[in-house]
Amino acid sequence: MIQKERIRILNDKKLRSGKYVLYWMQAAQRFEYNHALEYSIRRANELKKPVLAFFGITEKWPQANRRHYYFMLEGLKKVRRQLQNEGIQLVVRRQSPDDGAAELAKAAALVVVDAGQLRIQRAWRQKAASQIKCPLYEVETNLIVPVEEASDKENFSAGTFRPRITKQLDKYLVPLKHTKPKFDSLGLKFKSFDIEDIDKAVSKLDIDCSVDKVTSFQGGTDQAKKRLRDFLKNKLDKFDRLRNDPCADCVSDMSPYLHFGQISPLYIALEVLKTSGKGKDAYIEELVVRRELSHNFVFYNNKYDSFACLPPWAKRTLNFHRTDKRQYVYSIKDFERAKTHDPYWNAAQKEMVLTGKMHGYMRMYWGKKMLEWSANPQTGFKIALELNNKYELDGRDPNAFAGVAWCFGKHDRAWSERQVFGKIRYMNAAGLKRKFDADAYVDKIRLLEGA
């Protein structure tokens, strides 16, 4: 089922007799459980036309590097094969996605694109909508509840957002049935960027190659589903109790795959809800409430990637304590090289650099300490966001922007006042040790370094 609220028209152009229906794949890089692809197929079948899929590889996505492109192309290569098996050709172009979509739309009856809430994603869709001479439909498929249906304004905490989105879940937590295309686009002749040899493809891109690919994660829906099956079978029962212990390995590791749209959050939620796992309520809270709150944040707050995004009370208290004496002050190079006095913070930084993903609880501690150990809170915010986006596979994402901002007071409340932090929630190494064996975590990362 594709709810009408997932679909919106981005321009006022008339349907025309083109050669195909163009599906502009960008944020949802998958074949399965993809409402935008399904809508494209259904409209194409009605019009008795094939579906042509398009993906634009931009070399100018902010802070993206070899690590991110490699993971993305691993998934995209598999998607192309799945589409081919259904008679859908995927054209990959090394150009700005909006320009590529507008070019291929010249011979299209209509165009369908998946939705994205980040500023760059919305700008692409707006620019393409102004250039395309046929209807351009945007279909939300990377959220369970479309962002404007969940709330018509920015929500300042999970407490205000939770009741708004929860009352919508019965409507949107429904399976998506796949429709087979009736017509084939494989015979259409288009030039496409070759992604079969990923190393070769990445070497041709004009991108930052200072951060290499990781072996700890491989891109693709198949890899995401494999990790999800393992999580449901072996970890979900312990998730509520052990999710904040980085030594216990009880997290799902879905965030890199969700970031690239390689797996559907709806599919994950439905699979979780089928189980009797004790941790399923806690997991649904993370997947639905917390994750979709971050999309609410970037959609309604255009300053989401700067200190200015913080609530007024947080900015006031941090600025009031801006000149407080700090026991330690580190530069971005110190942080990046894990050269602080704190072995737990250093281990967290190394985990991120080595694996492309830091444990969620350590990421909170990591961000809080950059607030404490930077020359001022504005500098700390900037460094945290830069390092997170550079090394995390799930960086440059609504969750990433919301996660860093949370360390500085976003989606939180005022706490007891103290030096440097003001009324921002405080974390320290003693708190880590109360929750889990912090020294065992350091040892775990040391073993990774020697691998």
Closest among 107, 116, 45, 109 to 260, alpha carbons compared: 116
Nearest by Cα to 231 from 288, 175, 275: 275
Count the neighbouring beta carbons within 10 Å of the beta carbon of residue 303: 12
Q: Which residues contact 408 (CB under 8 A, 6 or more apart)?
A: 307, 310, 314, 318, 367, 371, 377, 380, 381, 424
What pLDDT shows up at residue 451?
61
Residues in the chain: 451
Question: CA 349 to CA 363: how far, in whole Å?
Answer: 9
Alpha-helical (H) ranges within 9-63 are 35-47
Q: What is the pLDDT of residue 253?
A: 98
Query: What is the distance in angstroms between the CA of the first residue and the CA of the last residue of the chain?
Result: 47
Residue recorded with tokens 């700008």: 123
Question: Where in the chain are the domains?
Answer: 1-142, 143-176+219-301, 303-450
Can you tell me the distance from the alpha carbon of 139 to that of 38, in angstroms, rounded to the nearest whole number? 10
**Distance (Å, whole) CA 427 – CA 421:** 10
Average pLDDT over the chain, rounded to an integer = 97
Architecture of domain 143-176+219-301: Alpha Horseshoe (1.25)
pLDDT value, residue 450: 82
Note the pLDDT of residue 286. 98
Rg (CA), the chain: 22
Q: Answer whether 0.85 is exceeded by the pTM.
A: yes
Contact 35, 176 (CB under 8 A): yes
Burial class (CB in 10 A: 0-12, 13-18, 19+), 63: middle
- Fold classification of 1-142 is Rossmann fold (3.40.50)
Q: Which of 395, 393, 388, 397 is nearest to 70 (CA)?
A: 393
Domain 303-450 has CATH 3.40.50.1820: no
* Per-residue model confidence as pLDDT tens digits over 83-97: 999 999 999 999 999
Matching CATH topology for 1-142 and 143-176+219-301? no
Task: For 278-332, write each residue's pLDDT tens digit.
Answer: 999 999 999 999 999 999 999 999 999 999 999 999 999 999 999 999 999 999 9
Q: CB of 267 within 8 A of CB of 33?
A: yes
Strand partners, 21: 51, 110
Instruction: List the 108-114 sheet strands across, edge first.
Output: 7-9, 136-139, 108-114, 20-24, 51-56, 89-93
Low-confidence ranges of the chain (pLDDT < 70): 451
